[in-house]
Copies of this chain bind each other. A is one copy, B any other.
Amino acid sequence: MGLTKTEIFTEEQNRLAVMLKAIAHPARIAILQEIIKSNTCICGDLVNDLGLAQPTISQHLKELKNAGLIQGTIEGVSVCYCINPPVWNELQDQLSGLFNSFSVKADCC
């Protein structure tokens, strides 16, 4: 019915899914790459760099912020965004766990 049955999964699975969903869009990947590249946090520059309208960028930033992956600080008339290390590391750790649990086995299909 359009809504995920979160109650049947573990807290960890749901957390990871939320963080991944935040990253699972080319615009948000591009935004993160931009923020990381210009480690001095940017903001309205994203509207110029990517070819998306201002409300669209603002919405993508909001989703990244809701997932906790970035944080924004008001700086005069503009807003400065940057990576939020704790959650960024949490995502990295969760993914490491997932990838490390797999190794190629011979008895596979």
Binding site for B on A (CB under 8 A): 4-6, 8-9, 13-14, 16-17, 20-21, 23-27, 29-30, 32-33, 36-37, 39-41, 50-52, 71-73, 75, 80-83, 85, 88, 92, 95, 98-99, 101-102, 104-105, 107-109
Contacts and interface: CB of A to CB of B under 8 A. Distances in A.
A107 B40 contact: yes
Given A36-B102, A101-B36, A20 B23 contact: yes
A29 B13 contact: yes
A93 to B, nearest CB: 10
Contacts of A102: 36, 83, 88
Q: 6 closest Cβ contacts across the A-B interface?
A: A20-B24, A73-B109, A9-B26, A80-B109, A21-B24, A8-B51
A50 B68 CA distance: 28
A33 B98 contact: yes
Contact of A39 (B21, B25, B72, B107): B107
A15 to B, nearest CB: 9
